[in-house]
Amino acid sequence: MLIRYITQIGRYFLMLKEIFNKQTKWSVMKNLIFKEIDDLIIDSLGIVAFISFFVGGVVAIQTALNLTNPLIPKYLIGFATRQSVILEFAPTFISVIMAGKMGSFITSSIGTMRVTEQIDALEVMGVNSLNYLVFPKIIALLLYPFLIGIAMFLGVLGGWMAGVYGGFISSAEFINGTQMDFIPFHIVYAFIKTLIFAMLLATIPSFHGYYMKGGALEVGKASTVSFVWTSVSIILFNYILTQLLLGS
């Protein structure tokens, strides 16, 4: 079992090396990149906006309901919402959800090409299939921080609306809380995490789709396995990066 995991990890890193070899012509690659931006980033805007807004509202309401001591200032609701959304919810929680949405899409699309022998056809034509299929996804997901920035904004906005219109806190107190003790590096930390998660989201599902064997049933299994391993990698890297960037 251990040897199999080590072999898979080695094959993954060899795949990363191969992605950047023998580049596809820019005239072809440009269209592939725009297609991936549409499929992976634009198509994810709706679900990211919906989840961010309502989870931000839930964070604010739960914080308000737990601040039962009258000596604790109300502006801590805004502070807690901002910290939760920026540090963990937007970069990490949304990335785990995207491991399901983007990851299963990437694995199933590449896996179907493997099953229908389209990848073999690319190789016969002298095209580096890994560069052709995976490189555009990596470039497209460089825009992933844009998606997470929207998630941060809508999460805090959802918290503000839930807190103010739910009668838990005044607008001035919530805004005061969101501005209190703000550390700009927390935004940098969140976007560093986001870029690394974007690389994982592009490459791990591609790996499981590209190297799968079998038929249509195995495509579904590969999608499930890729979701599990992408999520595990995101959680693991989240811990390591938090320790490195915020631990003192």
**Mean pLDDT value across the chain:** 87
In a domain, 20, yes or no: no
Token pair, residue 210, equals 């590209």
Tell me the whole-structure pTM to 2 decimals. 0.89
- Tell me the average pLDDT across 201-227: 86
In a domain, 17, yes or no: no
Range of the domain at 140: 28-243
154 or 9, which is more confident = 154
- Tell me the average pLDDT across 74-95: 88
- Tell me the average pLDDT across 31-58: 91
Q: Quick check: 234 and 95 in contact, CB under 8 A?
A: yes
- Tell me the average pLDDT across 53-57: 92
DSSP codes of every residue in 198-230: HHHHHHHHHHHHHT--SSHHHHHHHHHHHHHHH
pLDDT of residue 24: 76
Is the pLDDT reported for residue 196 higher than 80?
A: yes
247 or 116, which is more confident = 116
In a domain, 19, yes or no: no
In a domain, 3, yes or no: no
Q: What is the DSSP letter of 41?
A: I
Task: Mention every residue, 6+ apart, whose C-beta is less than 8 A from residue 165.
Answer: none
pLDDT of residue 151: 93
pLDDT, tens digit (0-9, with 9 covering 90-100), for 99-121: 988 888 899 888 888 888 888 88
CA distances from residue 56 to 51, 84, 158, 206 in whole angstroms, order as listed: 8, 9, 5, 31
Q: How many domains does the chain have?
A: 1
In a domain, 71, yes or no: yes
Percent of the chain surpassing pLDDT 90: 30
In a domain, 16, yes or no: no
Minimum mean pLDDT range among 43-57, 120-134, 232-246: 120-134
In a domain, 90, yes or no: yes
Token pair, residue 13, equals 């890193």
In a domain, 2, yes or no: no
